Amino acid sequence: MLQTKNMANQTIAEKRKILNISLPAKLYFEVEKLAKKESKTKAELSRELLRQYIDEEKRWSEIRALGRATAKEFGIKNEDDVERIIDEIRQ
């Protein structure tokens, strides 16, 4: 079982981990250009973009879960079922 430590009691080395990545040259220069435009380092920009991506993935995961629950509630198995329900509502 993994134990989580209180962040306040961690050393800097424990709070930070290094992630080295390789990018295609074109993407690297796009990141570099955007970082300069935003007055950020490439590392700051990368962290921000990763946080946004993770947050967005969590949000979409919740939306998909709600969609599955709704489909189950209404017995929706495919697009034809959606069309049928829409037609029923319109009548």
Q: Would you list the domain boundaries of the chain?
A: 23-90
pTM: 0.67
Torsion of CA 17, 23, 29, 33, to 10 degrees: -40
**Mean pLDDT, 10 residues at a time, the chain of 91 residues:** 61 81 97 97 96 98 96 92 91 88
pLDDT of residue 7: 65
pLDDT of residue 38: 96
Tally of CB atoms within 10 A around 84: 14
pLDDT of residue 6: 65
Element (H, E) at 54: helix 42-74
